[in-house]
Amino acid sequence: MSIDSSLIGRSACDVVDLLRTQQVSPRDLLDTLAAQIERVEPQVNALPTLCFERAYEHADALMRKPVAERGVLCGLPVPIKDLTDVAGVRTTRGSLVYNERVPETSDAGVTLLEARGGVVYAKSNTPEFGSGGHTYNSVFGITRNPWDLSRSAGGSSGGAAAALASGTAWVAQGSDLAGSLRTPSAFCGTVGMRPTPGRVSYAPAADPYGTLGIHGPMARNVTDTALLLDAMCGDVAGSPLSLAEPATSFLSHARSPRRPARVAFSAGLGIATPEPEILAICRSTMDRLTEHGVGVDDSDLDLSGATEAFHTLRGIAYATSYEEILAQHRDVLNPNVVWNIEFGLQQDNRAMRSALRTRAELFYRLDALLQRYDVLICPASIVLPFPVEMRDVREAAGRHFDTYIDWLAITYALTLTGMPVIAIPCGMSASGLPVGIQIVGRPRGEAALLSAARAIEEIIGTWATGKSQVS
- DSSP strand pairing (191-194 vs 148-152): unpaired
Given the residues 95, 106, 157, 180, select the one marked as catalytic.
180
Asked whether the beta carbons of 197 and 243 are under 8 A apart, the reply is no
Q: CB-based burial of residue 261 (10 Å sphere; 0-12 exposed, 13-18 middle, 19+ buried)?
A: exposed
Question: Is 156 considered catalytic here?
Answer: yes
Question: Is 124 considered catalytic here?
Answer: no
**Greatest distance between any 2 Cα atoms in the chain:** 62
Alpha helices, DSSP H, located in 92-205:
108-115, 158-165, 182-188
List Cβ neighbours of 171 (8 Å cut-off, separation of 6 or more): 12, 76, 78, 164, 217, 218, 219, 224, 225, 227, 228
| Alpha-carbon span 387 to 381, nearest angstrom | 15
| Amino acid at site 99 | N
In order of 64, 170, 319, the CA distances from 465 in angstroms are 32, 10, 39
Question: Is 152 considered catalytic here?
Answer: no
Query: What's the chain's length in residues?
Result: 471
Classify the phi-psi angles of 101: left when phi > 0, otherwise alpha if psi is within -120 to 50, otherwise beta.
beta
In order of 4, 125, 178, 400, the CA distances from 110 in angstroms are 27, 17, 22, 40
SS3 175: strand
> CA nearest 223: which of 170, 281, 294, 296?
170
Angle value at C-alpha 157, between 79 and 206, nearest 5 degrees = 90
Given the residues 81, 95, 106, 321, select the one marked as catalytic.
81
Given the residues 131, 156, 157, 299, select the one marked as catalytic.
156
**DSSP letter at 243?**
P
- Residues with a known catalytic role: 81, 156, 180
